Structure 1
């Protein structure tokens, strides 16, 4: 099999705040923005990597999800335990300072982990954990 990762999904509860974080703070390209109000599906991706995207989607929009499941998702998002992603950068300290200066919630400052990586973590406006791992 020849497989690649095309798109991953993260929830948002404020499409404008999420768009500002992913586009303006992290510098991702907006590939599509459809819907209206809070029911917007926004696809973003790193510049120069057209085959890899993140779909920022309203949580619980699937008609097959029950009201109980919607409440559970909302509660997990409020606690910051629902969605997360791991990004890679050769300039961890510079990336950290840029994202912190933009006002993102810092979860972990750059740290040399005992398992051999240097990383840091933030929360995006929806509470998703966004970890940055340094690559050389």
Structure 2
């Protein structure tokens, strides 16, 4: 190793600033939460389609509509009913996480651009600079 370093054969390594690493970490976590919530919603719809239950696609993920729907569908087995309730509770957990993070104190302005809106990380939709997070 020392010989490689002395003759300058070790490649240079870049390590992002701590603020950028923190922002990337937060965005990776947000991406995970959004992906999991989407999977839960898709599981919801899939379970209802499997048992041929009629439902309003636009209202399905609303809390009130879901419980009204659970009261009206009778031909669903208890196992499917329990899975739907579990999926609903998981969705509420993800929604609460999003609400908690949205109301959280904002970070200071982005160090590279000076733009305070750039650190509105929970509502960030990828319109700004590329952080290399989750891109394929």
Q: What is the TM-score normalised by the length of structure 2?
A: 0.26
Q: When you count helix as a share of all residues, which structure comes out higher?
A: 2
Q: What is the TM-score normalised by the length of structure 1?
A: 0.26
Indicate the structure (1 or 2) with the bigger Cα radius of gyration: 2
**Bigger relative contact order (CA 8 A; separation at least 6):** 2
